[in-house]
Amino acid sequence: MTNQPKPLLAVEHLSKHFPVRRSITEAFHHTIRVVKAVDDVSFRIPEGTTFGLVGESGCGKTTTSKVILSLYKPTSGRVLFHDKDLNTDLSDSERKLRHREIQAVFQDPAASLDPRMTVGRIVEEPLVINRDGNPRSTEDVARKMVDAVGLTQEQFDRYPHELSGGQQQRVAIARALALNPRLVVLDEPVSALDMSVRAQILNLVRDLQSKFHLTYLFVSHDLSVVRYLCDEVAVMYLGRIVESCGTRELFDNPLHPYTKALLAAVPVPDPSSRKTREPLPGNVPSPLDIPSGCRFHTRCPQVMEICSRVEPELVEISPGHLVSCHLYDSK
């Protein structure tokens, strides 16, 4: 981990807490309840790679990505982009620069596009907002992007509702790339699409990465897509990273019991490998009521006495492979 080139994005001890409105009785007792959506999360994304953030709903992956997109301010911790903290007071020009360099594609393609704007206008929007050239040049750039994502020039003048889900998602991608960003956050970009279209979009995303030298933060609950797309993966549970390593390593040699349970739970399209083991029981605890010690201890099949008392640290067990679990406490 030493002597590595500076990563494009580095998240350091990031926490994001949301206060919950108090009931009258709670106000009387001076209790402030907080949802610790993200709690002390750290990771780095090297330039040109795809980093996956995986977990079930409520694990904090989407909140983390929103902090990186500056939609939320961190409660504590830092987000460093090109080694500069994104949240210390930026000058106007620095803020503009940030907008150009980090963009996003979200899950529901129909909801990510303004229904009153044509495709061309939608793709031009980031250029217009950032005053990037005159109307003629912005149109040129927009047309090029529309082409790059596999849409026709005829579709340039169509409205979103005239396109299919896959085509709409292409528009969203074109828009995200219009400003030539360095980092693109992809939050479940194919979950809302039909199966026969997913592969098209996934391949497109991959191809664009090499064409435009992009770095991706890929947020998803779908482990199979993560396997296809990501170079490194971090598994999150209740606001923390429980395991983080290279993709191949995660699937070949998962260490954390939660990761193992997740992998075992995914249905595989192969009738001969039907599940033999029971799935993990129980539900994810409420983020308002996070278990003591290791957050996963209430459901862990390999729970030990120490797990309910002490929260394990995220420790590097083997090069590049970090786990937060007492099973791997060095003696």
Partner 1 sequence: MTERCLSGAGKAMQLWKAYARSKSAVFGLVFLVGLALAAAFAGYIFHVNPELPDLAKDRVPPSFEHWFGTDYLGRDQLVLIVYGARPSLIIAFTAGALLSVLGTLTGVLAGYFGGRIDGFIMRTADVFLTIPTLPLVILVVALMGPNLFNVMLIIGLTGWPVMARIVRADTLSLMKREFIEIERVMGASIRRILFMHLLPNQLNSILVYTSLSIPVVILTEAGLEFLGLTPLSISWGFMLNTSISYWISGAWWLSFFPGLAIFSTALAFYFVSDGLKEALNPKAKRRRESLVVQLATRK
Partner 2 sequence: MFNLPQESETLLSVDDLTVNFYLESGIVSAINHLSFKVNKGTSYGIVGESGSGKTVTALTIMGLLASPPGRVDSGEILLNGKNLLSMKSQEMREFRGDRITMIYQDPMTSLNPVLRVGFQIAEALIVHEGLPRQEAESKAIELMAATGIPDAGKRAREYPHQFSGGMRQRIMIAMALATKPDLVIADEPTTALDVITQAQILDLLRHLQREYGMSVILITHDLGIVAELCDEVLVMYAGHGLEHGSAKEIFLEPKHPYTRGLLESITRVDRDVKRLNSIPGTIPDMINAPQGCRFHPRCPRVFDKCLRQEPPAFKVENHRFCKCWLFETGKPS
Residues 316-325 as b/e (b if ≥16 CB within 10 A, e otherwise) read eeeeebbbbb
Interface residue with partner 2 among 2, 88, 93, 273 (CB under 8 A) is 273
- Cα 49 → chain centroid: 14
Residue 154 found at the interface with partner 2 (CB under 8 A):
no
Min dist. Cβ of residue 111 to partner 1 (A): 4
Residue 107 found at the interface with partner 1 (CB under 8 A):
yes
Using the contact rule CB under 8 A, the part of the chain among 172-180, 228-236, 260-268, 316-324 near partner 1 is 172-180
Distance of alpha carbon 325 from alpha carbon 295, whole angstroms: 10
CB atoms within 10 A of CB 278: 8
Residue 19 found at the interface with partner 1 (CB under 8 A):
no
Residue 113 found at the interface with partner 1 (CB under 8 A):
yes
Q: Of 225, 168, 218, give the one whose Cα is nearest residue 62.
A: 218
Count the alpha carbons within 13 Å of 119 in the hemisphere toward its beta carbon: 29
Min dist. Cβ of residue 224 to partner 2 (A): 4
Q: Which of residues 61-100 bind partner 1 (CB under 8 A)?
A: 69-71, 95-96, 99-100
Question: Looking at beta carbons only, is 115 or 301 nearer to partner 1?
Answer: 115
Residue length of the chain: 331
Residue 126 found at the interface with partner 1 (CB under 8 A):
yes
Q: What residues are paired with 20 via a beta bridge?
A: 33
Interface residue with partner 2 among 32, 265, 288, 306 (CB under 8 A) is 265
Tell me which of partner 2, partner 1, none is bound by residue 284, counting a contact when its beta carbon lies within the kind-specific cut-off of 5 to 8 angstroms: partner 2
Residue 46 found at the interface with partner 1 (CB under 8 A):
no
Q: Would the CA dihedral through 77, 82, 84, 85 be positive or negative?
A: negative
Sequence-distant (6+) residues with CB within 8 A of 67 are: 14, 16, 38, 73, 74, 79
Please answer whether residues 45 and 183 qualify as being in contact, where contact means their C-beta atoms are separated by less than 8 angstroms: yes
In the chain, DSSP finds a helix count (H) and a strand count (E) of 11, 12
Tell me which of partner 2, partner 1, none is bound by residue 71, counting a contact when its beta carbon lies within the kind-specific cut-off of 5 to 8 angstroms: partner 1
Min dist. Cβ of residue 312 to partner 1 (A): 34
Distance of alpha carbon 60 from alpha carbon 232, whole angstroms: 18
Residue 288 found at the interface with partner 2 (CB under 8 A):
no
Q: Of 291, 325, 330, give the one whose Cα is nearest residue 308.
A: 291
Interface residue with partner 1 among 43, 81, 156, 237 (CB under 8 A) is 156
Residue 194 found at the interface with partner 1 (CB under 8 A):
yes
Interface residue with partner 2 among 5, 269, 319, 331 (CB under 8 A) is 269
Q: Using CB under 8 A as the criterion, which residues of the chain lie in contact with partner 1 when the complex forms?
A: 69-71, 95-96, 99-100, 102-104, 106-108, 111-116, 118, 120-121, 125-126, 129-130, 135, 139, 156-157, 159, 161, 164-165, 172, 175, 179, 194
